[in-house]
Amino acid sequence: MYEQIAFYLFSVLTIGLFLVTVLTKNILYAMTSLAGGMVFISGFFFLLEADFLGVVQLIVYVGAVMALYAFAMMFFDATRDIKENTTSNYLVFFLGGMIALMLVIIFIAPIMGDNIQSMYPPIEGAGNAQSVGLVLFTKYLVPFEVAALMLLVAMISGIILAGKKMDNSLTTQEDIIIEKEEIIK
């Protein structure tokens, strides 16, 4: 019962928050609602007994990624509304609606392969984090290491890409130009 209430509550909140992310004009609202959506998604993970995944979701997404976005936005002046010509809503909602509809149809239909044998069942008597650790560091060791390497490369590249010409601020220049234009008016 609680599970159902939690599921539907989280579902509505998640979709609602993500819709705000997608539709809002203010980039700060978008980022905040995205972070909120991420928190509720970790709620699903707890519901699904993937405790460790939920924790990672909170740490990585809500913590690291959002912090990264927040830092990045310092370059782009987040306070102003975004001026953009969004694609016509009819087309977007038609395409999005179609995809959603068809995904729903596909997922509602009985899933084939109900008799799938699990390859790595959770270990009896061990917590989720322990099971995950056992599988991750035995069967998925090589991908894990590769992922670690990938993160390292991503970190270095991110630093190098963003770190060039750090001394001249972009927003201030733009602001100065805008201020000049306002003065001329």
Partner 1 sequence: MEKFVYIALFAPLVGSLFAALFGMTPKKTFIGVISSLLLATSFVASAILATYVVQTGHGIHVTMMDWISAGDLDIPFGFVVDQISVTMMVVVTLVSTVVHIYSIGYMDHDKSFNRFFSYLSAFVFSMLILVMSDNFAGLFIGWEGVGVCSWLLIGFWYHKPDESPDVNPSISPSWAANEAFIVNRIADLAMLVGIFVLYWSTGSLQYDVVFPALPYLDDAILTTAAIALFIGAMGKSAQFPLHTWLTDAMEGPTPVSALIHAATMVTAGVFLVIRANPLYSMPEVSEVSFFIASLGTFVAFFAASMALIERDLKRIIAYSTLSQLGYMFAAAGLGAYWIALFHLAAHAFFKALLFLGAGNVMHAMHDELDIFKMGGLKRVMRGTYLYMGIASIALAGIPPFAGFFSKDAIIETAFNEGTLVLWTILVVTAGMTAFYSFRQVFLTFDGNERYKEFNIHPHEMYKFVLIAMSPLALLAMIAGFFQEEFHKFITTSLEIMPNYEMSHHTHELALYLGILVLIFAIGGILLAYKKYANGLVRNEKVENSFIYQLLKNQYYIPAFYAEFISKPYALISTMLWKSVDMKIVDATVDGIANMFYKGGDNTRKMQTGNLSNYLNWMAVGLVIMLLVATIYTLKA
Partner 2 sequence: MIGLSHYLVLSGLVFSVGLVGVLRRRNLLMLFFATEIMLNAANIAFAAVSYYYNDLTGQMFAFFIIAVAASEVAVGLGLLIVLYKKFGTLNLDDLASMKG
- Record the tokens describing residue 71, joined without a space: 């830092």
Closest separation in Å from C-beta 65 to partner 2: 5
| Residue bearing tokens 């087309």 | 91
- Record the tokens describing residue 11, joined without a space: 């579902």
C-beta of 83 vs 164, nearer to partner 1: 83
CA–CA separation, 124 and 133 (whole Å): 14
Q: What is the x/- site pattern for partner 2, positions 16-45, by CB under 8 A?
A: --xx-xxx---x--xx--x--xx--x--xx
Q: Is 22 in the site for partner 1 (CB under 8 A)?
A: no
SS3 133: helix
Q: Which stretch binds partner 1 (CB under 8 A): 15-23, 60-68, 88-96, 161-169?
A: 88-96
What amino acid occupies position 50? A
- Record the tokens describing residue 31, joined without a space: 């980022």
Q: Is 105 in the site for partner 1 (CB under 8 A)?
A: yes
Q: Is 87 in the site for partner 1 (CB under 8 A)?
A: yes
Is residue 31 within 8 Å of 57, Cβ to Cβ? no
C-beta of 98 vs 152, nearer to partner 1: 98
CA–CA separation, 81 and 35 (whole Å): 19
C-beta of 5 vs 112, nearer to partner 1: 112
Q: Which residues bind partner 1 (CB under 8 A)?
A: 87, 91, 95-96, 98-99, 102-103, 105-106, 109, 112
